[in-house]
Chain A
Amino acid sequence: MATPNITMAKAINDAICQEMRRDPTVILLGEDVAGGAGLAHLKGEDAWGGPLGVTKGIGAEFGRGRVWDTPISESAFVGAAIGAAATGLRPVVELMFVDFLGVCFDQIYNQAAKMRYMFGGRARVPLVIRTMIGGGLGAAAQHSGCLYSLFTHFPGLKTVVPSTPYDAKGLLISSIRDDDPVVFFEHKAMYGLTGAVPDEPYTVPLGKAEIKRQGRDATAVGIAKTVHTCLEAAALLEEEGVSLEVIDLRSLSPLDEETILTSVAKTQRFVAVDEANPRCGMAADLAALVATKAFDRLAAPIRTVTAPHTPVPFAPVMEQFYLPSAEKVAEAVRSIVKK
């Protein structure tokens, strides 16, 4: 089979379609995941395929018995996906923007996350919640959050954040096949990113980080879009003779501590880069991890590069100032690397 260059959006669409072909218990549901439900003139075609078209064509291929457009009732349909998972289906449910978690959080953290444990292992909840994160599109405060740390806080949930089309497909297939609930975060500014993706189904394991670039002088850890920010920073720093190692976490829970700590042991310097707000976020969590488990290997203070502690602003000049940039990452690295 071929390995064409495709977009992240197409990679996600392919992963869902291939799993739905393989396993009849996989269903897709969410607001307008197909769109135009019940309208005869569409003749079974999807009106939307999700608000950004990521799931377009899936409804047409599999029909409305497996692709369920939902009313705008997140508690009901996310909860229904959980109940369906506990009774024998493998639902892939879309919570359109992660900022909408406020209207259905109980179902996710009190129900899906805890069922297997509360019931003494007698339940399994093989569920994937797909949801969009991230700024950069001017979507402002209520449609741009990077709220994965809230989900990562809860035992029982797995949290996955791909940064490439290849990983998006492999991680999503792993997530669908996993017997625990997985929250799968898709950075909406990265749907158009292209990369080589094999046509055939494959898996990328959950809980395994990837070293995207080898380096000697410092370790930078990124999540989703900030992986690319770190790689840009590494290119800038290379011109200055500084060698930056870049790690893509890919999963936040389970967290691949070993890859991070091994890298820090080598480089002795650590920068955590995250598009989320700083308090109680992944950057602070990673800094704490390195400080508690590798303090004696550090030759310099830990640095974090995050969004400021503000909501995401609207105006492009403000939003660009809000987001981590390669220059901010490079500056953080420079501040801890001896010349």
Chain B
Amino acid sequence: MALDKHMLKSLYETMARIRAFEEQVRKEFAGGKLPGFVHLYAGQEAVAAGVCASLRPTDSIVSNHRGHGHCIAKGVDPRGMMAELFGRATGTCKGKGGSMHIADIDKGMLGANGIVGAGFPLACGAGLTAKVKGTDQVSVCFFGDGATNQGTFHESVNLAAIWKLPVIFVAENNGYAEATPVSYAVGVPDLATRAAAYGIPGVIVDGMDVVAVHEAAVKAVARARAGEGPTLLECKTYRYYGHFEGDAQSYKTKEEVQRYRDRDPLRVFRGQAEKAGWISSAEMDAIDARMAGEIQEAVAYAESSPQPRPEDIFTDVYVSY
């Protein structure tokens, strides 16, 4: 598949935006400015960027606790996201959701989620809506290796398979469920193998290679749009930081971290781009600089935004007590 320059540039830009956002969030969290928990996506950028580039604005995604990258790749405004992480009234969810619950329905982003495995049925629901209404929209469910041990995974993949729902199940196998290695917690070497139990294609792709992810996603999306049903796409990837910020990560070795850092998705892309003459390194440097500025602006926006009013807790829910 030959990708045009515009698409290639866009893939890189999305990865760079996610990376800049996450590195900044890490600093802000360390500086004590962000309440609650944050789970950083750095290292996995190629997955969100590659998959979401295969979607239309009207398609849906369902995310998880490590959701910032998915939000950004689906077009959610980083300023609103940053304000949400700061707990401000201008946040994507008016400060009521926080990192683990960022959603932007208008952008087809149906929510990060604090419950591992909770997104599978919701993604089936978005697929069901498309099927009932006769549109050719698709939905994507992003999840980690750990979530494939939840009952909801097996129930939902089966449901999507028997109803031929237009759902793409994107497993981000980053090697660890919290502090537990996938080799301990999953009974098969590859998550994609589990697709066979439900009669759907299971595809393995290098999750550090955005072009490879994108090409695999385009195929799965085409299959879903054509009414042929779901695909399980396993992206082998790695998270650079802990399960949450503050995790000492004693379960990782230095060698392992370095091995993956050497295959950093932005660096891999740069290597490919320069070799194939897609985009010059000067152009990519310019994108990096623009993204850094964009994220600085997002922080400034968040910090200068008003706090929510305490009494706003009573809106957006029925209250009878």
Per-position contact with B for A173-199: 1 when CB-CB < 8 Å, else 0? 000000010000000000000000000
Residues of B within 8 A of A85 (CB): 125
Q: Which residues of chain B from 125 to 158 have a CB within 8 Å of any chain A CB?
A: 125-130, 132-133, 139, 151-152, 155-156, 158
Q: Mark A104-123, 1 if CB is under 8 A from B, else 0.
A: 00110011000111111111
Which of B62, B95, B132 is A89 in contact with, Cβ under 8 Å?
Answer: B132
Q: Which residue of A lies closest to B112 (CB)?
A: A118
Q: What's the Cα separation between A76 and B92 when bound, in Å?
A: 28
Chain B residues within 8 Å of chain A by Cβ, number: 49
| Given known A76-B159, A77-B159, contact A87–B60 (CB-CB < 8 A) | yes
- B319 sits at the interface (CB 8 A): yes
Is the beta-carbon distance between A120 and B93 smaller than 8 angstroms? Answer: yes
Please indicate the chain B residues that have their CB under 8 angstroms from the CB of A75 in the complex. Answer: 121, 151-152, 155-156
27 contacts between A and B (CB under 8 A): A68-B128, A71-B159, A73-B155, A75-B156, A76-B121, A78-B121, A79-B152, A80-B128, A80-B156, A80-B159, A82-B122, A84-B129, A89-B133, A106-B118, A107-B118, A111-B113, A111-B121, A118-B103, A118-B111, A119-B96, A119-B103, A120-B92, A121-B94, A122-B93, A122-B103, A156-B317, A255-B320
**A70-B159, A118-B111, A120-B93 known; A83+B133 contact, CB < 8 A:** no
Chain A residue at minimum C-beta to C-beta distance from B316: A121
Closest to A65 in B: B132
| Known A118-B97, A255-B320: A84·B151 in contact at CB below 8 Å | no
> Hey, which bits of chain B sit against chain A, CB under 8 A?
60, 62, 91-97, 101, 103-106, 110-111, 113-115, 118, 120-130, 132-133, 139, 151-152, 155-156, 158-159, 162-163, 315-321
Cβ-based interface call for A98 (8 A): no
Inter-subunit contact B118/A156 (CB<8 Å): no
Cβ-neighbour of A107 out of B93, B103, B121, B318 (below 8 A): B121
Q: Report whether A158 and B159 are in contact in the complex, using a CB–CB cutoff of 8 Å.
A: no
B122 in contact with A111 (CB, 8 Å): yes
With CB as the reference atom, state the residue of chain A lying closest to B100. Answer: A118
Q: Which residues of B contact A121 (CB under 8 A)?
A: 94, 315-316
**Is residue A161 within 8 Å, beta carbon to beta carbon, of the partner chain?**
no
A119 and B93 within 8 A (CB): yes
B319 near A155: Cβ-Cβ < 8 Å: yes
Cβ contact of A207, chosen from B118, B120, B156, B320, cutoff 8 A: B320
Chain A residues with CB under 8 A of B111: 115, 118-119, 123
Q: Say whether A117 contacts B316, CB under 8 Å.
A: yes
Within 8 A of B (CB), among A206-232: 207
Highest count of chain B CB atoms <10 Å: which of A80, A87, A115, A123? A80
Chain B positions within 8 Å of A155 at CB level: 317-319
Q: Of B60, B96, B113, which is in contact with the most chain A CB atoms at under 10 Å from its CB?
A: B96
- Chain A contacts to B: CB under 8 angstroms: 25, 27, 65-66, 68, 70-71, 73, 75-89, 106-107, 110-111, 115-123, 155-156, 158, 180, 207, 253-255, 257
Instruction: Tell me whether A117 and B317 are in contact in the complex, defined as CB-CB below 8 angstroms, given that A76-B120, A86-B125, A86-B126 are known contacts.
Output: yes
* A180:B318 contact, CB within 8 angstroms: yes
By beta carbon, the residue of chain A nearest B134 is A65
Q: Which residues of A have CB within 8 Å of B126?
A: 83-84, 86-87
Whether A116 touches B121, Cβ cut-off 8 Å, given contacts A76-B158, A84-B129, is no
A86–B97 CA distance with the chains assembled, in angstroms: 16
CB of B171 to closest CB in A, whole Å: 17
CB contacts (< 8 Å) of B123 on chain A: these are: 83
Which residues of chain A have C-beta atoms less than 8 A from B133's C-beta? 25, 88-89
Please indicate which of the listed interface residues B91, B155, B319 has the most CB atoms of chain A within 10 Å of its own CB. B155
A106: chain B residues within 8 A (beta carbon):
115, 118
Question: B118 touches which one: A79, A80, A88, A117 (CB < 8 A)?
Answer: A79
Question: In whole angstroms, what is the CA distance A126 to B175 when docked?
Answer: 38
Extra contacts besides A80-B124, A84-B128, A89-B129 (20): CB < 8 Å: A25-B133, A73-B155, A73-B156, A73-B158, A75-B156, A76-B152, A76-B156, A83-B62, A83-B127, A87-B125, A87-B129, A89-B128, A115-B103, A116-B317, A119-B105, A120-B316, A122-B104, A180-B318, A253-B318, A254-B318
